[in-house]
Chain A
Amino acid sequence: MKITDENDRKSYKDVWILAEINDGEIHSVTYELLGIANELAGASGCEVAAVCLSSHVTKEMTDSLIYGGADKVITVTDEKLAAFNDELECNILQRLVGKYKPEILLGAATNRGRALMPRLAGTLHAGLTADCTELSIDPDNGDLLQTRPAFGGNIMATIRSGEFRPQMATVRPKVMRALTPDNTRRGTVISESAEPSDSAGIKEIIETVKRSEATASLADAKIIVAGGRAMGGPEGFRLLEKLASLIGGAVGASRPAVDSGWIDYAHQIGQTGQTVQADLYISCGISGQIQHLVGMQSAGTIVAIDKDDTTPMMNLADVAVKGDLFEIIPLLIEELENMKKEG
């Protein structure tokens, strides 16, 4: 909502984060949100509240949010909240925001957060910045400064929504630092409930289907073996799967490989796919277009294998291997298997 005057501006306080709960478990990104929320609250002298919408909320969960940095936990428990329902969560949050008037509202830049937050911002007429990688408080006026990669990662844009409250942002997972859990921290739990009107005009969620672990865990994978156009077909990805399973990694792909239909979109890394933060990223025949790099360049160590050693990826890599990947990868698998045997 647009601020009308200085009193109106001051009526908004506290930093809220939306807890990301999947299958009754608090997702790690929630603690990252609490981490950055504490920094922001420290800079503007207010409190941090975690909003927890779930089909069940235990004391263990609210304690864990408090130990992770929440001064308050606002819970709404309703069996309809078991699976993500955009309309229902938006209706509930709209009421809560109206009641408590948070100054800042942060959500995770996950599929859920990136569907729910714009719906809520649309309803509230609030500013929302997607997929932020940096957040800070402007020391001059106390506004939230929201920085995000834009234009395929070519530029970093800093955005503010100065005249509108709450200031909303989705935050990219694995970028912000969680606090060390402190079980001496104390906080308040506020129990709110869903109202019948919240459930008007909401969709029906018939079923939730799990996919194979490898696909699901790409965003969380410590090791990723990714292939591009040079893999030549689905068989090429079989080879990468073999290497990945040997070293406990997940398989990723560049857009051309996905567009060619060699592997599912869920494996796509980059601007229009997933962003990953692996300790080790093995790039196989990916030239390294900027759109791909923005999805993976925060990896701890990048290994690139390619025939052409002048590509952006080969220059970006920590270790660049020049050669035919169809020769090198099978031999690498052999070498690694031998090392494993030798312990």
Chain B
Amino acid sequence: MKIIVCIKQVPATTEAKIDPVTKRIIREGTQAVLNPFDLYAIEEAVSLKEQCGGEVIALSMGPENAKKALTEALSMGADEAILLSDRAFGGSDTWATGYALARAIETIGGADLIICGRQAIDGDTAQVGPVIASKLGIMQAANVMKTVSAEGGSFTFHRMNESGFDVVRLTAPALITVLKDINVPRIPTLRNARRARAAEIKVWKPDDIGADPAMIGLAASPTRVVKTQPQTSRNTDTFRIEGEPRDAAKTLAGELLRRKLF
């Protein structure tokens, strides 16, 4: 089984800086980490490979230093890593990102299963996975919490819904986005981490994926950030309770009653 796992390097959240001109997040110079949800995507890909045989290719788009995230995927057991990196990809929104990743997946020759994390913690859109699926015209399941079976080009998953989950069956090629419930990501062994650091990561430019120049980057992105402002924070006078636990509990219960909250 051939599996492609799409991952993203994200800036550490608390260091958010916004470019005053493009209004987009400045990624250069901030501490970068692998998007936490993507650990589960990588783990699912690697453990499916271990069960069914095949290969795992990690794919990302971003600046040169996003190779770090791909190295992490390799250290967890991905066989190959590819980074889409070029100025022309800059300013891509979820549509343009999805287009580029879909082109790259086609260039790789497709896959039986494409796995993404549920969402990246910088943009929080959860949109790129479904956009990729639409560009490839393949089945999708978002918010997968369990792989029930994967054999013979057919996959059965549990997909979270508002009141529980659906049992869904998808035919390869298919794309899923995964939740944290799905597995426990492995800690890479020292040997694998060393091997990953030595591995070559391919860097692909728009030409390498046969991208239509009009479909990538800022120009192809339907959305534009027009304004950013700090979140207005909640401002309250806190009623503080301390002292003996019994008294504190009594005061709190009284306060809940007084505020008609109980």
Contact = CB atoms under 8 A, between A and B. Distances in A.
Contact of A158 (B94, B226, B261): B226
Nearest to A299: B234
Given A118-B130, A280-B261, A328-B252, A150 B222 contact: no
B162 to A, nearest CB: 6
Contacts of B128: 118
B240 A209 contact: no
Interface string B46-75: 000000000000000000000000000000
**Which 7 A-B residue pairs are closest in the complex by CB-CB distance?**
A127-B222, A122-B134, A331-B249, A115-B142, A122-B131, A164-B222, A118-B127
Which of A129, A201, A321: most chain B CB closer than 10 A? Answer: A321
A211 B164 contact: yes
Main secondary structure of the interface of A (DSSP, over half): mixed
A271 B140 contact: no
B238 A319 contact: yes
Interface in A112-137: 112, 114-123, 125-131
Interface size class of B (residues with CB under 8 A): 35 or more
Interface in B212-262: 221-234, 236, 238-243, 245-246, 248-253, 255-257, 259, 261-262
Contact of B131 (A119, A145, A152, A339): A119
A258 B180 contact: yes
Contact of B225 (A110, A159, A317): A159
B189 interface: no
B141 interface: yes
Nearest to B232: A156
Contacts of B140: 86-87, 115, 119, 203
A221 interface: no
Contact of A156 (B93, B164, B231, B253): B231
Interface size class of A (residues with CB under 8 A): 35 or more
Nearest to B119: A272
Contact of A315 (B14, B18, B229, B238): B238
A95 to B, nearest CB: 15
B258 to A, nearest CB: 10
Contacts of B262: 247, 280, 336, 339
A216 B162 contact: yes
Interface stretch (A46-54, A226-234, A259-267): A259-267
A192 interface: no
Nearest to B246: A331
A158 B143 contact: no
Contacts of A256: none
A316 B134 contact: no
A209 B13 contact: no
Interface in A207-250: 207-211, 215-216, 219, 223, 247
Interface string A90-122: 100000000000000000001110111111111
B108 interface: no
